[in-house]
Amino acid sequence: MKRVAMVLFCGLLLSSCANEDFFQHDALATEEELNGEAAAGPDSAWVILGRHYDRSGFHRFFWGDHHRQLWTTPVKLPVFRLDTANGGMQVVKKGGGYQTTSFELQDRQGRLYAFRSIDKDPKEVVSKFWQSTFVTDILRDQTSAANPFGSLVVPRLAQAVGVYYANPHLYYVAADDSLFGEYSQQVQGKVFMLEEKYETPADITPAFAANVIDFEDSEDALRKRFLSNRYHFNQQAFARARLLDLVIGDWDRHKGQWDWAVATQGTDTVFYPIPKDRDQVFLEMGDGLIPSIATSKLLARKLHTYDDDFSDVKAYMINAAFIDQRLLNELPLKDWQRIATDMQQQLTDAVINEAVQKLPPPVYTLVGSEISQNLKSRRNLLPEAAKKMYELLAKKVTIAGSDDAEEFRVTRMDNEQVEVSVSRPAAGGIPGKQLYKRTFRRGETEEIILHGLAGDDAFILTGDVQESILVKIYGGLGEDEITDSSSVKGWKKYTRVYDTERGNELTFGPETKDLTTNDVRVHAYDREGN
């Protein structure tokens, strides 16, 4: 332990020299840096995305090589002009990102775009006490672990497997550009990424299904889903998108990294995932003495280096835990395996090669072959990774209703299987519908947790078995009916009921553990992750 502390201390000393002009350089490459490359034309420029990541061998021994070579290699990019890009654009507003300079732009057709700086400054995400210290410099330096060109590879892969996507493009903003008005100094001489945003019907393109009518962000989609049982997430589509995340090594998939295409389906509405912000694919974090310690399974496990296999599937699920638990709770293993096998067939060698060739030529020369081989290897291993993802999610499964009325049925089928179904009754012109059905296996699942939320719900448990799975019931704020006639041999009670004592009709059997209370906080359920 003392040795580790000494290593960390030495590393801190190495980075303690504050660099006030860390980002105060024009990205244009000098003649010396171009090393004989042909000059760019009037509409393009040779640029270096992050020459400040070029550090000594002594520094890299402690803090890693990462993707420094990509950040410091000259690449030829088009020059961005606000008045001509996509037929002419305007600034709608400046974004509120803490680590990047970002803007919302709009073209003449009313379509919205995100315009974000490629390099990051994490200064604003640390407390003021540390902002002018080595801590900020360390975080800045570790941005070099990200592949700044990785997002360019993703669209072709997403297209092949049927996942909605944005089309990112890199641009250089000239050092004398004044078209951003009051914001001009914030963009001059920097490299930005432009990609579509999906917020209004004006953003619908032919790439979307015919029944897509609008878009929602995650908070609004989740709010509607738990407010009414006429709103649903397509879990098959989300599983497909999450398996693509595994293939490309995108570990940062929290709820803010998704938009949702809103589609009509009879009287119901279905949300389909649109992944965004692909700035963490193909991470290289495991080299360097200190990062290799920091990214162990005991510390920053989620910062897992991208390579040719899935040695730590759980690392890719840490940031997405909230949304995975809510939107991947109905799929059995056979669905995961079918989707993974389907994606294997769609991600052909030709597709992967075509995707990787979207990298700028100098970058492709450096890492194109390695990325291609890693993608092909991970594709071949995808069913195995899908099984692991399923197993991690299956251990404890939460099934929530909505603020409408639902009927939850739990059937202890035999010593190994428990079936759960959720249905809505017909009411007010809305037809009845089975909302959920899944059979759980005792060797995979330890707990099934049911939340009724605010509707007047019914919970019915049946079955007489020797062994089973623990079921927890949180009735919610409505007037609920809970009937447990199930039986499991042994002293342990396998049904636990959490609800308020008044206003509910409770019929408990020998398997029920009564945990009702007068405290309405027993109904708490985190709907939107706030």
pLDDT per residue as tens digits for the range 375-401 = 999 999 999 999 999 999 999 999 999
| Per-residue 3-state assignment (H helix, E strand, C coil) for 32-70 | HHHCCCCCCCCCEEEECCCHHHCCCHHHHHHHCCCCHHH
Predicted pLDDT of residue 298: 66
pLDDT per residue as tens digits for the range 396-426 = 999 999 999 999 999 999 999 999 999 999 9
Cα–Cα distance for residue pair 256/219, rounded to 1 Å: 8
Predicted pLDDT of residue 132: 62
Neighbours of 234 (CB within 10 A): 18
Cα–Cα distance for residue pair 438/263, rounded to 1 Å: 24
Predicted pLDDT of residue 7: 42
236 to each of 315, 334, 402, 502, how far by Cα in Å? 22, 12, 20, 39
Predicted pLDDT of residue 326: 96
Predicted pLDDT of residue 55: 84
**pTM score over 0.75:** yes
Longest dimension (CA), the chain: 83
223 to each of 184, 237, 311, how far by Cα in Å? 38, 20, 35
Predicted pLDDT of residue 3: 42
> Which of the residues in the chain have pLDDT under 50?
1-23
Predicted pLDDT of residue 5: 43
Neighbours of 83 (CB within 10 A): 9
247 to each of 241, 293, 340, 369, 439, how far by Cα in Å? 10, 25, 10, 16, 28
Phi, psi of 157 (to 5 degrees): -65, -45
Spatial neighbors of 270 by CB under 8 A, at least 6 apart, are: 231, 232, 233, 234, 262, 263, 264
Cα–Cα distance for residue pair 214/202, rounded to 1 Å: 8
Phi, psi of 90 (to 5 degrees): -135, 155
Spatial neighbors of 392 by CB under 8 A, at least 6 apart, are: 313, 314, 317
Predicted pLDDT of residue 343: 98
